[in-house]
Amino acid sequence: MFLFFFLDIVHSRVYGENNASLVNDKNALISFMSGIVSDPKNALESWKSHSIHVCDWSGVTCNNASDRIRELDLSRSSLRGIISPALANLSSLQILDLSENHFEGHVPKELGYLVQLEQLSLSKNFLEGEIPSEFGSLQKLYYLDMGNNHLEGEIPPSLFCNVTSLSYIDLSNNSLEGQIPLNNECILKKLRYLLLWSNHLVGHIPLALSNSTELKWLDLGSNMLIGELPSEILHNWPQLQILHLSYNDFVSHDNNSNLEPFFVSLMNLSNFEELKLAGNNIGGKLPHIIGDLPTSLLQLHLEENLIYGSIPPQIANLVNLTLLNLSSNLINGSIPPSLCKMGRLERVYLSNNSLYGEIPSALGDIKHLGLLDLSFNKLSGTIPDSFANLTQLRKLLLYDNQLSGPIPPSLGKCVNLEILDLSHNKISGLIPAEVAALSSLKLYLNLSSNNLQGPLPFDLGKMNMVLAIDLSMNNLSGTIPPQLESCTALEYLNLSGNSLEGPLPDSLGQLRYVRVLDVSSNQLTGIIPESLQLSSTLMKLNFSFNKFSGKVSNKGAFSYLTIESFLGNNDLCGLVKGMQSCHRKRSYHLVLVFSVIPVLLFGTPLLCMFKRFIVVKLKARKPFEVVGIGDLEDEEETKDLKFPRISYRQLIEATGGFTSSSLIGSGRFGQVYKGVLVDNTRIAVKVLDTTTAGEISRSFRRECQILRRTKHRNLIRIIAICSKPKFKAIVLPLMANGSLEKHLYPSLGHGLSQRLDVVQLVRICSDVAEGMSYLHHYSPVRVVHCDLKPSNILLDEDLTALVTDFGIARLVKGDETTSTSESASFSSTHGHGFLYGSVGYIAPEYGMGKHASTQGDVYSFGVLLLEIVSGRHPTDVLIHEGSSLHEWIKRQYFHQHKLENIVEQALQRFSPSGVSTNHNKILHNVVLELIELGLLCTQHNASTRPTMLDVAQEMGRLKDYLTNPNSQLIEVNPKINSLCSEDILVGK
């Protein structure tokens, strides 16, 4: 009997395709495959084989009993094309998951004929048009996810009225309009998750939603909903865990003056975890009954409202709260010391209010506190010594208050501190050496606009990871310590408005990443160091109102400076417009004449003898030649490759002896010089600094290996390499249009005057995405670049973008013939403990010790997009806004007028004059798309970022759209909100 049963199963598997229903299912899949125009992951490869049974096709699951297809799961396959209506012929289908692909076009209404369907997921595609009303026929459907598309129109009432089995609904991040279609005739009793955030929905929260008594998660954020906070409905949701209503137009009760009824309605929700009401202009006092909210509450977001009054001490009863955000309200009174009872608090935001009194020392007892923001208040008194107990503290923001007294040296015990901002207070005394020695600071130290005095501590040099130091507008005296050269990651240094004296240390010019230097309004003397003039990174300099003397050149970093950078230095002279000329006296000329004549008369024989000596020595010496690329690796792999043999002497001649005039850039591991070979080939020679051997040697070998083994039109190609014990260089073609950075910031251009327009920028970004996609997905060796930024993107004569600088890149290990997992990763720091990459472009997970990964490159690309659109360097935003570029852009995104300002400013910078209204609308939409893609790529959670392959396809779509003006206008998603937050939705 068993044998008979087994043979029957085998027979059905072998001959089952003769079953008419299964043949019909197979034909439906073949029709679906015909609508696929791109399958980069070969997800449908098995579908093309005649020897593989249809039930064994990838993504296909059959019902063992009837041998009919019951599940089609092709999620995350990077498929591109349209969804064929032929899928409606899969009459037994119960699960259809096409999420996280690149499907375009409309959602086929024929999918509404799949009456057996229980789960439908089409999220994270590019679907447009309306949700078919035919979906109202899916009587068995309990899971529906169509979020993150370009859907528009109203939600069909038939969907909510007829499909009463729905338990999970996600239509978020689309462009849906109208009201939420629920009334007494449309009841969803089984509904547990309703996610409609980031749409254009209007009206009130429907009272009929109170019938969904099993509701656990309601997210209606970033819409245009109105009315009072839904206190009446909340009583009917005993299982509610998450309530997100941020960025709408909700008000509190009694004409926006009473929050108590709403908080009362939350008291009995024993599983409640998150409440978000930010950005609603909600009024009223915080009632003392806030302390009676469920102790299960983990996050409370009430920022950007009109809440007034004091913080009730009873709030400390929320003992499990990890995040408290009351910033940007009208709150006054003092900070209740009882907050120390909330021992699990990790982030506290109380900024931009009217809090007064002293900072309670009891806050130092909150052991897990990682962020404390009390800025923009009226706090007075001293900084508590107890903050030394906050060993987990990473960000301390106390700026713009009325704090006084000295900086407690005990802050030096906060060994994880990354940001310390005490600016714009009345703090006095010396800068403690313990604080100056905080080597953990990775972002910035801001002590400006206080009453600090005394010398600059030598220990400042121990901040070898800090990005910015601002000590301006104090009473600091003494000299500038040369130890500052040890702040090797420093990009911004402001010492202006003090009483510093003595010369500027020449070592400041050795800071390889410094972009801004301001020493104005001091008592500094002597000449301005030549090393500053030779810097290839400096963008802004201010030496005004000091006592500098000597000659100032107009070369290098000084070539774009104006007289405003030198005002108040009467003894300076030079070629800067508005500066006095440097006139030599006649006596100098006479001395020169009488000095030269004896040399000409008696020195010629000596010169001839010296020349003969040098020639003999050079002939006896072994020629210093550039070796072929294959000499570093296996010669078998490169024996057929032909590379020119360029001698060291030829490099010397080509670059003029590697002089400062031929220097075009410098980086972590060396300098780049431009040159011209004898055959007029224009080259860039990357000379590595061999004085720091270990990591430099590894970097040189790594870059050679990557450039040798990768080949793509959007990656820099290698001409030759030179590897000798005391000289290592890589010879590359010189790009006619320099780096992208010099076009984004003309002050770095050194003669580059071509203004890029939106079309050119989209093409450049598309080129970069294609090159990075190749490195991540198609290269013979998978590569994580680790340092993607504008200065590492070069432009040729046709403005084709090429990614360069692979000095800190990482190779993905594994079988090179197989697709490498996206999770392939490596240590995110190198031997000296520095984060891989450049500050501002580094993915947040790297700062928490995570490994370098392809998702980190995606983050850097997203920052690049946001930088291009906003016109702001990410480090400038960090310094002046106290947040990442992603966070700053996202805040603007929630306010339509601020978002429009960013778009309009971008169009003014990049759009050609005289464009038509219709064309300007097209460019406007494209800029919005770039912002949204940048926000998606820079999400805090790495797992929710798109892959570089996805990004390349999206950039390709934008490029095609710009070159085809007859195509349909792109629909722009209105908000990004939760998708770009660090709190990722369950089940997404």
pLDDT (tens digit, 9 = 90+) per residue, 972-982? 333 334 343 33
Are 648 and 578 in a shared domain?
no
pLDDT of res. 522 = 96
Structure tokens at 739: 């780096």
**pLDDT at res. 747:** 60
Write down the pLDDT at residue 691: 57
364 belongs to a structural domain: no
Q: In which band, very low, low, confident or very high, does the pLDDT at 262 lie, cut at 50, 70 and 90? A: very high
Residue 721 has a pLDDT of: 77
Q: Which of 14 and 190 is assigned the larger pLDDT? A: 190
Same-domain check for residues 891 and 980? yes
pLDDT in the model for residue 685? 87
- Pick from 109-118, 286-295, 620-629, 790-799: least confident: 620-629
> What CA–CA distance (Å, rounded) separates 160 from 57?
34
Q: Which of residues 924 and 306 earns the better pLDDT score?
A: 306
Give per-residue pLDDT as tens, 831-877. Answer: 444 456 777 888 887 766 567 789 999 999 999 999 999 999 988 88
Residue 406 lies in a domain: no
- Spatial separation of the C-alpha atoms in residues 783 and 824, rounded to whole Å: 10
Comparison of pLDDT for 174 and 620, the residue scoring more: 174
Q: What is the pLDDT of residue 669?
A: 62
**Mean of pLDDT over the chain:** 83
Instruction: Tell me: do 917 and 963 sit in the same domain.
Output: yes
Task: Pick the more confident residue, 597 or 423.
Answer: 423
Domain boundary, last residue among 183, 215, 247: 215
Which CA distances in Å does 62 have to 55, 68, 143? Answer: 6, 5, 20
At 516-549, the pLDDT tens digits run 999 999 999 999 998 888 787 888 899 999 999 9
Same domain, 87 and 191: yes
Q: pLDDT value at position 294?
A: 96
Same domain, 50 and 100: yes
| Residue in the block written with tokens 């850097």 | 860
**599, pLDDT greater than 90:** no
Give the residue with greater pLDDT, 900 vs 69. 69
For residue 969, is pLDDT > 50? no
Q: Looking at the structure, do residues 747 and 883 belong to the same domain, yes or no?
A: yes
- Per-residue DSSP letters for 372-388? EE--SSEEEEPPPGGGG
Domain annotation covers residue 365: no
Same domain, 638 and 577: no
Residues 796 and 722 in one domain: no
Is there a single domain that holds both residue 638 and residue 503? no
Confidence at 912, pLDDT banded by 50, 70, 90? low
Q: How many separate domains does the chain show?
A: 4
Query: Residue 672: pLDDT above 60?
Result: yes
Residue 600: its pLDDT value, please? 43
Q: Are the beta carbons of 8 and 16 closer than 8 angstroms?
A: no
> For this structure, is 815 an active site residue?
no
Q: What is the pLDDT of residue 962?
A: 84
Residues tagged in the binding site annotation for ATP: 686
Q: Are residues 728 and 744 in the same domain?
A: no
Whether 897 has a pLDDT exceeding 70, the answer reads yes
- Domain assignment of residue 981, yes or no: yes
**How far apart (Å, rounded) are the C-alpha atoms in residues 462 and 482?**
12
Write the DSSP assignment of 880-944 as a string of letters: HHSS-HHHHHHHHHTSHHHHHHHHHHHHHHHSPTT--HHHHHHHHHHHHHHHHHHHHHT-SSGGG
Same domain, 552 and 582: yes
- pLDDT score of 16 more than 70: no
State how far the Cα of 231 lies from the Cα of 284, in Å rounded to an integer: 15
CATH number at residue 571: 3.80.10.10
Is residue 458 one of the residues assigned to a domain? Answer: yes
Write phi, then psi, for 791 (nearest 5 degrees): -70, -15
395 is a domain residue: no
930 and 834 in one domain?
yes
Q: Which residues have C-beta within 8 Å of that of residue 945, sequence separation ≥ 6?
A: 855, 858, 859, 862, 936, 937, 938, 939
Q: Which of 199, 215, 231 is the last residue of a domain?
A: 215
Instruction: Single out the residue in 734, 754, 770 at which a domain terminates.
Output: 734
Q: Tell me which of 787, 805, 857, 950 is the catalytic residue.
A: 787
* pLDDT score at 893: 81
pLDDT at 605 over 80: no
Which range, of 239-253, 608-622, 684-698, 709-723, averages the lowest pLDDT? 608-622
Domain containing residue 523: 454-587
More confident residue, 986 or 571: 571
- Cβ distance 382 to 357 under 8 Å? no
CATH number of residue 759's parent domain: 1.10.510.10
Task: Kindly state whether residue 13 falls inside one of the protein's structural domains.
Answer: no
Tell me the mean pLDDT in the region 121-130: 94
Q: Is 670 helix (H, G, I), strand (E, B) or coil?
A: strand
Task: Say yes or no to pLDDT of 497 above 60.
Answer: yes
**Lowest-confidence pick of 250-264, 485-499, 636-650:** 636-650
Tell how far CA 267 is from the center of its chain: 39
pLDDT of residue 948: 92
Q: Is residue 946 part of a domain?
A: yes
From 306-315, 519-528, 675-684, 907-916, the region with the lowest mean pLDDT: 907-916
> DSSP secondary-structure letter at 112?
G
pLDDT of 729 reads: 82
Better-predicted residue by pLDDT, 237 or 657? 237
Query: Lowest-confidence range among 119-128, 187-196, 816-825?
Result: 816-825
